[in-house]
Amino acid sequence: MKITLTEVRRRVALIFLGAIFCMAVLLFRLVYLQVIQNHWYQEKALSQRMRPVPVDAKRGVIFDRNMQKLAISVSAEAVYAVPAEVKDIKETAKLLSPLLEEDIDSLEDKLSKRQATVWLARKLDTDTARAIRALDLPGIGLVERPQRYYPHGTLAAHVLGIAGIDNQGLEGLEVFYDEYLRGQQGRVVMERDATGREIPAGIRRFVPPEDGYNLVLTIDHVIQYTAERELAKAVAETGSEQGVFMAMDPKTGELLALAVYPSYDPNSYQAFPGQNRRNVALSDIYEPGSTFKIVTASAALDAGVVAPTTGFYDPGQIKIGGITVRCWRAGGHGSQTFIEAVENSCNPVFAELGAERLGAERFYEYITKYGFGKQTGVDFPGEAKGLVPVPGKVQWGETARWATVGFGQGIGVTPIQLLSATATIANGGVKLTPHFMKEIRDNQGRIVEEYPIVGTRVIKEETAQVFSEILRSVVVNGSGSLADIPGYRSAGKTGTAQVAEGGRYTERRISSFTGFAPADDPRIAATVVLYYPKGQSYGGVIAAPVFQKVVEDALEIMGVARRREPSPDSVTGFFQERESVVPNVLNLPHSEAEGVLQGAGLKSHFQGDGEIVFDQVPAPGTKVPWGTIVQILGYDQVVYDPGDQQITVPELIGLSMREVAARLAYAGLRLQIHGSGVAARQSPAAGSTVPVDTVVHTFFEPPTGE
């Protein structure tokens, strides 16, 4: 085939154009790399030559609320190696081994690594650092690295937590606020060749670190010291395995102290068992026992199912939901008001409140509003949620379960949840989030962040006020007498909870007290828990004194003035400030008249030979102070003449268990309960004549329609 001159020219032109295109592409690429990407490649080349040695920032100082230093950073030297510059690995390892107390083989491995720098040891003492510097070994350098130090040793150890050897937070507030405390790392940069050796007259640059922010806590170190001292003493004296004390300002949510014993020293935490570092006040749940009755009682008051002077009758035990709930007192407390039931810590009354008067749904609503079954939101890692049964989803009888929850069994709480509930009552029914952080400040002392105070209402203010005085009465007249602080009107509730193991309750106990002071203007709420004491285990005997000693000192530290008590019976004094209208009880049976008067906040004194009321003083409709005694006079219509040894059995059918108990008690007869609900049958029958103290067997059944 013959190629024409035109074709040859066309092919040459194509080749020429292709060559020009390729040259243009290469030129564009060259311009792109040399001009456009010049800065990037320069940085890349520089980064390959520049080998940084990190310089740690100082962690921020942790202060207490009075600016007392609880955690600081101190300078300590660290030794590092640049493997490429080490001339004799074996000789270097041999010389460093006795100084660093590390075997030669381990040091040789570190010195042989293909890394720019390798840390050999940190937190060196002064003598060791001086000795290493004197050796002047090639490739071995020293640099200052700040280390955490806790000047007060064990004080507030469970609050502060610990920081690691790399200056990072590991536990407690050190890790929770690590992003504020740790600061920004700096570095020393040196220019090196491809083998890692420093280039003579090369670039050397120091980028200073930025120190961390300072953390100001709500903790008062003096109150904290008092709490730790008294808690340690109580644990030792009672033979307890562990103890917790927590204090909080109920008006702000600020935690003033948190002590756990046994404790540890965060400066040498490795020397203590790991369990000692566990903050059980926030991380562990337990069945609270009678201290939980503050929730049951305040919920019942708030829901209107009881009044302070509502009457109850405790025969010593009741059957409810298929289980028998026994009172701690043999034979029970007999007739008592609601106030007295709280003072007496009467389990049958609280079982009835939880399972029947409140009921599962309403009781559960109050429990969750108080914050049980969920985290309180405290600014601390590892908080437990607790364990609360859900209505309709319990594993055994619904009524029985809520009866036991009423007196603090069958529910799991943490000490901080119980403290939060106590503080809620002290704060007029408003729940605040407990917290440790008061404010965060920069290095110039300027406030960067403050903890926000946000509250949610749990119970009505009036309910909280009334119940606060009832808790005051527990201290004045009930089981909490050892928590009384002269001049400070403390209020609270005791608890002695059985410990369940293997599905059944054992003889082991958890003793506690929770309360606040002063009762009429609370400045501090506190909770004490002693785990598994040996010997005496009543919370009112061994936990209440810890509350008394620490809170008394705390109130003095806080500058709260003592005051003179207006009356030893503060509850009566409180209710006398309120008025009640005397109800009409004429022609009512004596027992029913008493109940009506108690429900109106009044007391009664009965005179006469019969049961039916035919006169009363003051008259119906009269306005009188709460707690006033109403004289009621009876005439002889029914049942019982105290001088007569033969008793006519009253009619019981259709009455509630409480009404039956009251009527038989008045008649001088004893009650044997069978079943639950309202009275359906009785033996002996109504109208029978029997001796005094005869046992009347009464059979109760659920009302029609249940």
Which of 572, 591, 623 lies at the terminal end of a domain, its last residue?
572
CATH number at residue 171: 3.90.1310.10
- Read off the tokens for 59: 């962690």
560 and 589: one domain?
Answer: no
Handedness of CA 190, 195, 197, 202 (dihedral sign): negative
Which of 572, 603, 623 lies at the terminal end of a domain, its last residue?
572
Q: Is residue 333 part of a domain?
A: yes
pLDDT at 343 over 60: yes
95-122 burial string, b = 16+ CB within 10 Å, else e? bbbebbeeeeeebeebbeeeebbbbbbb
Contacts of 165 (CB under 8 A, 6+ apart): 122, 123, 147
pLDDT at 475 over 80: yes
Element spanning 180, H or E: helix 178-181
Given this model, what pLDDT does residue 54 score?
Answer: 66
CATH number at residue 650: 3.30.10.20
228 and 207: one domain?
Answer: no
- The single-letter DSSP state of residue 316 is S
59-71 burial string, b = 16+ CB within 10 Å, else e? bbbbbbbeebebb
Do 696 and 661 meet the contact criterion of CB atoms below 8 Å apart? no
458 and 373: one domain?
Answer: yes
503 and 593: one domain?
Answer: no
413 and 470: one domain?
Answer: yes
229 and 373: one domain?
Answer: yes
CA distance 569 to 275: 45
Of 525, 509, 532, nearest to 254 by C-alpha is 525
585 and 564: one domain?
Answer: no
CA distance 706 to 703: 6
207 and 230: one domain?
Answer: no
**pLDDT band, very low/low/confident/very high, at 245 (cuts 50, 70, 90):** very high
Q: Is residue 46 part of a domain?
A: no
Do 635 and 614 meet the contact criterion of CB atoms below 8 Å apart? yes
Given this model, what pLDDT does residue 614 score?
Answer: 63
> What does 91-133 look like in DSSP terms, one character per residue?
HHHHHHHHHHT--HHHHHHHHTSSSS-EEEEEEE-HHHHHHHH
Do 338 and 312 meet the contact criterion of CB atoms below 8 Å apart? yes
Given this model, what pLDDT does residue 295 score?
Answer: 97
Q: Is residue 183 part of a domain?
A: yes
Give the residue numbers spanning the domain of 599. 579-701
Choose the weakest-confidence range: 390-399, 451-460, 545-554.
Answer: 390-399
Q: Is residue 44 part of a domain?
A: no
3-state secondary structure 420-469: HHHHHHHCCCEEECCECEEEEECCCCCEEEECCCCEEECCCHHHHHHHHH
Q: Is residue 329 part of a domain?
A: yes
pLDDT at 569 over 60: no
* Residue 403 buriedness (CB in 10 A; 0-12 / 13-18 / 19+): buried
346 and 476: one domain?
Answer: yes
Do 235 and 242 meet the contact criterion of CB atoms below 8 Å apart? yes
Q: Where is pLDDT greater, at 634 or 96?
A: 96
Count of structural domains, the chain: 4
pLDDT at 80 over 70: yes
Q: Is residue 683 part of a domain?
A: yes
Residues with active-site annotation: 290
Distance, CA of 418 to chain centre: 6
Q: Is residue 43 part of a domain?
A: no
284 and 395: one domain?
Answer: yes
pLDDT at 60 over 70: yes
- Read off the tokens for 553: 């000192």
Question: In the predicted model, what is the mean pLDDT of the chain?
Answer: 85
Which of the residue ranges 134-143, 226-235, 471-480 has the most confident prediction, judged by mean pLDDT? Answer: 226-235
**pLDDT band, very low/low/confident/very high, at 49 (cuts 50, 70, 90):** low
Summarised one tens digit per residue, pLDDT across range 570-610 is 454 555 445 667 777 766 777 777 767 766 667 777 766 56
567 and 603: one domain?
Answer: no
Given this model, what pLDDT does residue 249 score?
Answer: 97
pLDDT at 550 over 70: yes
**pLDDT band, very low/low/confident/very high, at 174 (cuts 50, 70, 90):** very high
179 and 261: one domain?
Answer: no
Q: Is residue 271 part of a domain?
A: no
Helices marked H in 241-353: 280-283, 293-303, 338-344, 347-352
**pLDDT band, very low/low/confident/very high, at 415 (cuts 50, 70, 90):** very high
315-326 average pLDDT score = 88
CA distance 68 to 216: 9
CA diameter of the chain: 153
* Residue 206 buriedness (CB in 10 A; 0-12 / 13-18 / 19+): exposed
